[in-house]
Chains A and B, each alone.
Chain A
Amino acid sequence: DAGVIQSPRHEVTEMGQEVTLRCKPISGHNSLFWYRQTMMRGLELLIYFNNNVPIDDSGMPEDRFSAKMPNASFSTLKIQPSEPRDSAVYFCASSLDRGNYGYTFGSGTRLTVV
């Protein structure tokens, strides 16, 4: 298996632009998580899905952030409009059976908003 695949690896965008991050979970995994990592706050959960349904989005910073999972093999995290304080590394992770067998993380997307 290729693991959790995220794209793009790096994204540089101007303030106010829309940014879309993409994630393909491991085939057969039924839970998907979006985390954000910064130096100041460490790893924070933004949102997670079970069987394509959003379960907990309490970590989504504000209405500028949205996430979708239209099918079991694809998810997007969208920021519109982007702001410099959104600059961070965004990780996607997937798990089987709600994490009973551990979690697998993607390589992350490094987002820079200038």
Chain B
Amino acid sequence: KQEVTQIPAALSVPEGENLVLNCSFTDSAIYNLQWFRQDPGKGLTSLLLIQSSQREQTSGRLNASLDKSSGRSTLYIAASQPGDSATYLCAVRPSAYNTDKLIFGTGTRLQVFP
């Protein structure tokens, strides 16, 4: 059974810091991994999608890496800003289990203060 864990559960940092959010999954048989952002009371916004054959993806100040063999992904946020405050979720699409559903982690709640 695929399980996804995110560490830390919560993080509070001053503006300007570089951050690393961690995501681990128990089964390396995945098609892809996707990072989402969720603002309070809002929906999920896709940030980055990494296919199983890729090592990393970048978008602006965000960089996500994937090490499928060790079951890990990291989301790196450079020069954090108060507007980055949100909950960050990672989700994997398993290639085993004959399913198309995403398996979500429990999220990291990030607060960036001025």
Chain A residues within 8 Å of B, Cβ to Cβ: 31, 33, 42-43, 45, 48, 50, 55-56, 91, 93, 95, 98-108, 110
Judging by beta carbons under 8 Å apart, are B100 and A31 in contact? yes
Q: Which residues of the partner chain A approach B36 to less than 8 Å between Cβ atoms?
A: 105
Nearest-neighbour CB distance to chain A for B49, whole angstroms, equals: 4
Please report the C-alpha to C-alpha distance between residue A101 and residue B31 in the assembled complex, in whole angstroms: 10
Please report the C-alpha to C-alpha distance between residue A99 and residue B36 in the assembled complex, in whole angstroms: 15
Judging by beta carbons under 8 Å apart, are B44 and A99 in contact? no
Given A45-B102, A48-B100, are A102 and B43 neighbors across the interface (CB < 8 Å)? no
Chain B residues within 8 Å of A, Cβ to Cβ: 31-32, 34, 36, 41-46, 49, 89, 91, 93, 99-102, 104, 106-107
Q: Which residues of the partner chain A approach B106 to less than 8 Å between Cβ atoms?
A: 42
Nearest-neighbour CB distance to chain B for A41, whole angstroms, equals: 10
> Main SS of the interface on chain A?
strand
Judging by beta carbons under 8 Å apart, are B104 and A99 in contact? no
A99-B93, A99-B102 given; name 11 further pairs at CB < 8 Å: A33-B101, A42-B104, A48-B101, A56-B101, A91-B43, A93-B44, A99-B31, A102-B32, A102-B49, A104-B46, A108-B42
19 pairs of residues in contact across A and B, judged by CB atoms under 8 Å: A33-B101, A33-B102, A42-B106, A42-B107, A43-B89, A43-B104, A45-B102, A50-B100, A55-B100, A91-B44, A93-B44, A95-B100, A99-B100, A100-B31, A101-B49, A102-B32, A102-B34, A104-B46, A106-B43
Q: Which residues of the partner chain A approach B44 to less than 8 Å between Cβ atoms?
A: 91, 93, 105
Judging by beta carbons under 8 Å apart, are A107 and B100 in contact? no
Given A99-B93, A102-B32, A106-B43, are A56 and B49 neighbors across the interface (CB < 8 Å)? no
Please report the C-alpha to C-alpha distance between residue A1 and residue B19 in the assembled complex, in whole angstroms: 32
Nearest-neighbour CB distance to chain B for A17, whole angstroms, equals: 23
Q: Which residues of the partner chain A approach B43 to less than 8 Å between Cβ atoms?
A: 91, 105-108
Nearest-neighbour CB distance to chain A for B91, whole angstroms, equals: 8
Nearest-neighbour CB distance to chain A for B97, whole angstroms, equals: 10
Q: Which residues of the partner chain B approach A101 to less than 8 Å between Cβ atoms?
A: 49
Quick one: which of B34, B41, B42 contacts A103, CB cutoff 8 A? B34
